[in-house]
Amino acid sequence: MESADTKTAPPPPAPGTIAWADLTVADADGVRDFYAQVTGWTPQALAMKGGYDDYVMNAPGSGQAVAGICHARGPNADIPPQWVMYIIVSDLDASLAECTARGGAVINGPKSMGGTARYAMIRDPAGAVAALYQTT
């Protein structure tokens, strides 16, 4: 039995759930300010290779990270300017193979996220874009 003051980590997100949403645009600074004013999100700068900041957007009051707003440069240079959701998968390579076998396309990646996860952007047969995300 755990004591009341023992903290346990939340379980990892289950495959098939949405883990995150990112917006990638040319002017992340301006769009950051737009969403901060419209939603109450608080931006937190995230230093990127190349000498610029992308932003983690935190929920008002709780400080919980809820989304990202990114510049369309560096590793995000070829991502369309739209909100992209990241869907958890248990096997990224198998999911990408299914994507292409079923008429979709891999449009970016797979890429590593700091050695703890991998992701890829896909386009479904209807043309909608999403990201598939696997923790390693």
Q: What is the CATH number of the domain that holds 99?
A: 3.10.180.10
What is the four-CA torsion angle of 42, 56, 24, 71, rounded to 10 degrees? 100
Q: What sign does the CA torsion over 34, 39, 40, 43 have?
A: negative
Q: Judge whether 93 lies within some domain.
A: yes
30 and 60 inside one domain? yes
What is the pLDDT, as a whole number, of residue 97? 97
75 and 96 inside one domain? no
What is the pLDDT, as a whole number, of residue 12? 67
Contact 88, 133 (CB under 8 A): yes
What is the pLDDT, as a whole number, of residue 79? 80
Contact 68, 19 (CB under 8 A): no
54 and 26 inside one domain? yes
54 and 24 inside one domain? yes
63 and 44 inside one domain? yes
Closest CA relative to residue 21, chosen from 56, 64, 63, 73 = 56
CA distance 106 to 119: 11
The total number of structural domains in the chain stands at 2
What is the pLDDT, as a whole number, of residue 10? 59
**Per residue of the chain (136 residues), what is the pLDDT tens digit?**
333 444 555 566 788 888 889 999 999 999 999 999 999 999 999 999 889 999 999 999 888 999 999 999 987 888 878 899 999 999 999 999 999 999 999 998 899 888 889 999 999 999 999 999 998 8
CA distance 121 to 116: 17
Domain that holds residue 23: 17-81
50 and 93 inside one domain? no
68 and 46 inside one domain? yes
Number of H helices, E strands in the chain: 2, 8
How far is the CA of 10 from the CAs of 7, 13, 14, 38, 52, in angstroms?
A: 9, 9, 11, 30, 32
119 and 67 inside one domain? no
Q: pTM value?
A: 0.78
